Amino acid sequence: MKVSLFLTCIGEVFYPNVSKDVVKVLERLGCEVDFPEGQTCCGQPAYNSGYRKDAIKGAKQMINAFAGAAYVVAPSGSCVAMVHEYPALLQDDAYWLDKARELSNKTYEFTQFLVDVLQVTDVGAVYPAKATYHSSCHMNRLLGVKEAPKQLLQHVEGLELEPLSNGYDCCGFGGTFAVKMSAISEQMVDEKVRHIEETNADTLIGADCSCLMNIKGRLERLDKPIEVKHIAEVLNHHK
Per-block average pLDDT, block size 10, for the chain (239 residues)? 95 94 98 97 92 96 98 96 97 97 98 98 98 94 94 98 92 81 90 96 96 94 96 93
The CATH architecture annotation of domain 121-235 reads: 3-Layer(aba) Sandwich (3.40)
Q: How far apart are the first and last CA of the chain?
A: 25
pLDDT of residue 225: 95
Nearest to 84 by CA among 143, 8, 135: 143
pLDDT of residue 98: 98
* Whole-number Å distance between alpha carbons of 48 and 55: 9
Q: Which residues of 111-122 are buried (b: 16+ CB within 10 A; e: fewer)?
A: bbbbbeebebbe
pLDDT of residue 180: 81
Is the Cα torsion angle 210, 134, 143, 235 positive or negative in sign? positive
pTM: 0.94
Tell me the sheet residues that pair with 44.
none
The tally of CA atoms less than 13 A away on the side-chain side of residue 49 is 14
- Helix, strand, or coil here: 161? strand
The segment(s) of the chain belonging to CATH 3.40.50 are 121-235
pLDDT of residue 168: 83
Which residues have CB under 8 Å from 128's CB, separation 6+? 157, 158, 159
